[in-house]
Chain A
Amino acid sequence: MGDIVNLVLKRLGFGLITLLVISVIIFFMVELLPGDIAQAVLGQGATEENVAALREQMGLNNPAFVRYFEWLGGAVVGDFGTSIVSGERVSTIITERFINTLFLAAYAAVIAVPFAITLGVVVALLRNTLFDRVANVLTLTSISSPEFFLGYILILFFAVKWQMFPAISSLSDGMSFAELLDRTFLPALTLVLVVTAHMMRMTRAAIINLLASPYIEMARLKGAPPWKVIVKHALPNAWAPIINVIALNLAYLITGVVLVEVVFVYPGIGQALVDAVSKRDFPIVQACCLIFAATFILLNLAADVGAILTNPRLRHPK
């Protein structure tokens, strides 16, 4: 078991280092700005005094690496400074929106993951049949469509023509859970469509890849029926790739969410990021980027650890 612990620890360490490097990139990229932040915020017309005052207020006179450590120290405890535009604490703006975003992603994942994995296995079982070909064309079409295309199609039919669900996901306090599910159904469905297609294709590929193994032929020659070949002989070896597929797509959900939030005017962190980008509100941009990257890294980490833990060769060392 020592091997496994070692590998997992190594992987964790690498994840941590990656996160650090990324925080450096995110922080120092802003430093690359022509002029500096104060200048960029106030514009070319600002007087020298105003710029200097803002510099003083933002602590820009300290050397960059000092500010980096201050920023990082704050970020670790959830303090990302204040917004340049509104002067509010970044954390107050972001926290609730981040929770909303996580809710939307989770909503989509809960539907998509079991659905896609099952379908992926079914498609692998029925490979090269008409059903498989149709599924191939449909999933390819789905992953080729921009999220806003799918989103607007859903709005056009479900919200405008058939009026089954609201087109805009406005959330308010004191909504019942059922109401919440109803209001966020369309954005969740959009995400489900994209992610399911991805996951199905990857699950299918992972399983078919395994089906070429000699031990699968052996299982067939031992008289195992096709479903048993897949479930008992292919699946236990497919966990690593499947876990990978899930993590990759959950990570994809996190980014896909930005566009979907804009389409459905959903009050999530993606909206906040897009607003901040167009207003050049750097503290918010940096905070959002760091949060997105951290989630992304965490998911990849989970996938790799999962793959290590399910590998029979590692679980049962010689």
Chain B
Amino acid sequence: MAQDKSVLLDIKDLRIDGYTGEEWVPIIKGVDLRLHRGEVMGLIGESGAGKSTIGAAAMGYARDGTRIVEGSSIEFDGMELTTATEGERRALRGSRIAYVAQSAAASFNPAHKIIDQHTEAPLHYRIQSRVAAQEDAMDLYQRLRLPDPDQIGFRYPHQVSGGQLQRAMTAMAMACRPDLIIFDEPTTALDVTTQIEVLAAIRDIVDQFNTAAIYITHDLAVVAQMADTIKVLLKGEEVEQASTEDMLENPQEDYTKSLWAVRSFKRTQKRRPTGEPPVISVQNVDAAYTGGIKVLDDVSFDIHRGMTVAVVGESGSGKSTTARVITGLLPPTSGQVLFRGEPLPPSYLNRSKDQLRQTQMIYQMADTALNPKVRISEIIGRPAQFYSGLSGTALKHRVDELLDLIELEPSQYYDRYPPELSGGQKQRIGIARALAAEPTFIICDEVTSALDQLVAEGILKLLDRLQSELDLAYMFITHDLATVRSIADEVVVMQNGKVVEQGPKDEMFKPPHHPYTDLLLSSVPEMDPNWLTDLLEERGVDNIGEAADV
């Protein structure tokens, strides 16, 4: 079949306003986008770039609280969507343009069977009979390598795993064989090992049916696998657009280059100090939540003065639970935690003020880690006041000192409230609060994963500088191996509540690995357009479907 390469979607000067609760402010400021039949375009940018909003607009859809400004033009296959009636626009959705959402678990209706949701559009548009549509669904499930394709559709969404649901949603988008599918961060909520199979399945099916796609993501390595062309967005404006190869090899704009250069930060690996007990020693810890479900099984590792130990694993591996055991929020069922050789009381309620002071935490979500109704000066000042009894000018002096330390101008931030700050600034305040206690050990729980890459880089550098200046020990909980590469001295790999492997970083990244470490390492997308293809060949295509279903 000769492939038609005519223009499918032509967006010109797209402007979209968002409602802040008081006024309308522009969030998309004049973006052009042209997509040909069968082409896959990657939309990439940091949070607030407006990628999702553009994706929805491509369907002629404005989310609640947004509106498409007059003068914008969205032409789909010769039809102007901005002037079309709501009925005409609706008739395209699900039939000619389909949508795959970020969270499949939330986007499937819990009250209906998967296959009934799948056949809804074909039946609504009277494309197929119910039986034909169901058979087609099973065929698509098969193509997407879902296990038990004849039966899986007759389950309810909550009975199916996240990775499978995401593939079922891709199948659903395919139901009417649309000309265009919008993928809105379809793998962001998934673990890396699950991500692979979904990526492979999506790429295959889009290829098979020659469907055009807009692939929205913040992950460069992912977009490199999926897209023919890449468009980079920043704050509602286009930065540049080029074919995937050109974009990766030869980015033109400074902003793009800075995105590509991320994780260039790498520090020298430290060795354990000799002749002193570790700052924190986790010894044979078992832990269970109420209900008796065991979540930690014989976990042991040491963290030494001035060193960073990265604890890596996917969701459910028990890495955050380990942190809760160390802080005393979840007393272990057996085993103990030593601080400089001395056992810590299992519950934080029984620990002394000084023991509490020595261990501090920095959280993933700075939004929920800082009380929005308390001034910065009090957030940072309280630990200093609480532990060291500072007050008056001494306290103010200490807060200034701490703000200096995290590279924020004291006079500017002293009296402000957290909601007025950006994500990166909030995370810095979180760090300052931990430092205010003058600890020797800090637990960093996914501290960079909610941040944009450039900001995350800054936080990592700051943490590194503080470590060498103040001789701090870090426990770095993360699922991101790039972060591990840049900051860790030692690595602990966890799976299902057990430590599967641990050792110095340089050894961990060199083969031979434990099979799980191997799976984890190889599943992290790389910035090479052929990475996925190569990996699939290496693993053997047929195995992928099962890789994460076990």
Taking the complex as a whole, does A directly touch B, i.e. does some CB pair lie under 8 Å apart? yes
**B103 partner, pick from A214, A219, A220, A233, beta carbons under 8 A:** A214
Are the C-beta atoms of A220 and B93 separated by less than 8 Å?
yes
Q: For residue A220, which residues in chain B have a CB less than 8 angstroms away from its CB?
A: 61, 93
B338 to chain A, nearest CB (A): 40
Residue B112 interfacial (CB < 8 Å): yes
Are the C-beta atoms of B124 and A224 separated by less than 8 Å?
yes
Are the C-beta atoms of A223 and B121 separated by less than 8 Å?
yes
**B92 partner, pick from A215, A223, A233, A316, beta carbons under 8 A:** A223
CA distance A23 to B56 in the complex (A): 59
Are the C-beta atoms of B99 and A218 separated by less than 8 Å?
yes
Known: A213-B106, A236-B112, A313-B158. A222 touches B59 (CB 8 A): no
CB closest residue in chain B, given A314: B158
CA distance A213 to B120 in the complex (A): 18
A10 to chain B, nearest CB (A): 16
Are the C-beta atoms of B110 and A221 separated by less than 8 Å?
no
CB closest residue in chain A, given B173: A222
B188 to chain A, nearest CB (A): 13
Are the C-beta atoms of B108 and A222 separated by less than 8 Å?
no
Q: For residue B158, which residues in chain A have a CB less than 8 angstroms away from its CB?
A: 312-313, 316, 318
Are the C-beta atoms of B111 and A214 separated by less than 8 Å?
no
CA distance A221 to B156 in the complex (A): 20
Residue A34 interfacial (CB < 8 Å): no
Are the C-beta atoms of A222 and B93 separated by less than 8 Å?
yes
B249 to chain A, nearest CB (A): 36
Residue B217 interfacial (CB < 8 Å): no
Residue B101 interfacial (CB < 8 Å): yes
CA distance A140 to B17 in the complex (A): 33
Are the C-beta atoms of B93 and A236 separated by less than 8 Å?
no
CB closest residue in chain B, given A236: B111
Q: For residue A217, which residues in chain B have a CB less than 8 angstroms away from its CB?
A: 63, 101, 107
CA distance A214 to B155 in the complex (A): 20
Residue B109 interfacial (CB < 8 Å): yes
A253 to chain B, nearest CB (A): 29
Among residues 215 to 248 in chain A, which have CB atoms less than 8 Å away from a CB atom of chain B? 215, 217-225, 228, 232-233, 236-237
Q: For residue A233, which residues in chain B have a CB less than 8 angstroms away from its CB?
A: 109, 111
Residue B289 interfacial (CB < 8 Å): no
Are the C-beta atoms of B109 and A237 separated by less than 8 Å?
yes
CB closest residue in chain A, given B113: A316
Are the C-beta atoms of B120 and A215 separated by less than 8 Å?
no
A238 to chain B, nearest CB (A): 9
Are the C-beta atoms of A312 and B59 separated by less than 8 Å?
no
**B61 partner, pick from A215, A221, A225, beta carbons under 8 A:** A221
Residue B306 interfacial (CB < 8 Å): no
A52 to chain B, nearest CB (A): 58
CA distance A312 to B116 in the complex (A): 14
Are the C-beta atoms of A214 and B91 separated by less than 8 Å?
no
Residue B321 interfacial (CB < 8 Å): no
**A221 partner, pick from B59, B108, B155, beta carbons under 8 A:** B59
Q: For residue A312, which residues in chain B have a CB less than 8 angstroms away from its CB?
A: 110-111, 156, 158
Known: A221-B61, A221-B99, A318-B159. A214 touches B107 (CB 8 A): yes
Q: For residue B108, which residues in chain A have a CB less than 8 angstroms away from its CB?
A: 215, 218
CB closest residue in chain B, given A239: B111
Are the C-beta atoms of A224 and B112 separated by less than 8 Å?
no
Q: Which of A214, A220, A223, A312 has the most CB of B within 10 A?
A: A223
**B95 partner, pick from A213, A223, A316, beta carbons under 8 A:** A223
CA distance A230 to B91 in the complex (A): 18
Are the C-beta atoms of B107 and A215 separated by less than 8 Å?
yes
**B94 partner, pick from A214, A222, A313, A318, beta carbons under 8 A:** A222
Q: For residue A218, which residues in chain B have a CB less than 8 angstroms away from its CB?
A: 99, 101, 107-109
Q: For residue B155, which residues in chain A have a CB less than 8 angstroms away from its CB?
A: 316
Are the C-beta atoms of A313 and B110 separated by less than 8 Å?
yes
A119 to chain B, nearest CB (A): 23
A51 to chain B, nearest CB (A): 56
Q: For residue B59, which residues in chain A have a CB less than 8 angstroms away from its CB?
A: 221
**A223 partner, pick from B93, B103, B109, B111, beta carbons under 8 A:** B93
Among residues 492 to 534 in chain B, which have CB atoms less than 8 Å away from a CB atom of chain A? none
B186 to chain A, nearest CB (A): 13
CA distance A313 to B111 in the complex (A): 8
Q: For residue B92, which residues in chain A have a CB less than 8 angstroms away from its CB?
A: 223
Q: Which of A217, A218, A219, A220 has the most CB of B within 10 A?
A: A218
CB closest residue in chain A, given B156: A316
Q: Which of A213, A221, A233, A312 has the most CB of B within 10 A?
A: A221
Known: A220-B93, A222-B93. A215 touches B121 (CB 8 A): no
Q: For residue B103, which residues in chain A have a CB less than 8 angstroms away from its CB?
A: 214
Residue B387 interfacial (CB < 8 Å): no
Residue B272 interfacial (CB < 8 Å): no
Residue B24 interfacial (CB < 8 Å): no
Q: For residue B61, which residues in chain A have a CB less than 8 angstroms away from its CB?
A: 220-221
**B124 partner, pick from A214, A223, A237, beta carbons under 8 A:** A223
Q: For residue B172, which residues in chain A have a CB less than 8 angstroms away from its CB?
A: 222
**B106 partner, pick from A214, A223, A232, beta carbons under 8 A:** A214
CB closest residue in chain B, given A216: B109
Q: Per-residue CB proximity of B155-189 to A under 8 Å, as 1/0?
A: 11011000000000000100000000000000000
Residue B351 interfacial (CB < 8 Å): no
CA distance A232 to B99 in the complex (A): 19
Q: For residue A223, which residues in chain B have a CB less than 8 angstroms away from its CB?
A: 90-95, 121, 124-125
Q: For residue A313, which residues in chain B have a CB less than 8 angstroms away from its CB?
A: 110, 156, 158
B19 to chain A, nearest CB (A): 12
Q: Which of B91, B101, B103, B125 has the most CB of A within 10 A?
A: B101
**B111 partner, pick from A221, A225, A237, beta carbons under 8 A:** A237
Complex A-B, nearest 8 residue pairs according to Cβ-Cβ distance, in ascending order: A223-B94, A236-B111, A222-B94, A223-B93, A214-B106, A221-B99, A218-B107, A215-B109
Q: Which A residues lie at the B interface, using CB under 8 A? A: 213-215, 217-225, 228, 232-233, 236-237, 312-313, 316, 318
24 example contacts (A-B, Cβ-Cβ < 8 A) are as follows A213-B106, A214-B103, A217-B101, A218-B101, A218-B109, A220-B61, A221-B94, A221-B98, A222-B94, A222-B120, A222-B121, A222-B124, A223-B93, A223-B95, A224-B94, A224-B120, A228-B124, A232-B120, A233-B109, A236-B109, A237-B109, A313-B156, A313-B158, A316-B158
A218-B107, A222-B99, A318-B159 given; 12 more Cβ-contact pairs under 8 Å: A214-B103, A215-B108, A217-B107, A218-B109, A219-B120, A220-B61, A220-B93, A222-B124, A223-B121, A223-B124, A224-B120, A228-B124
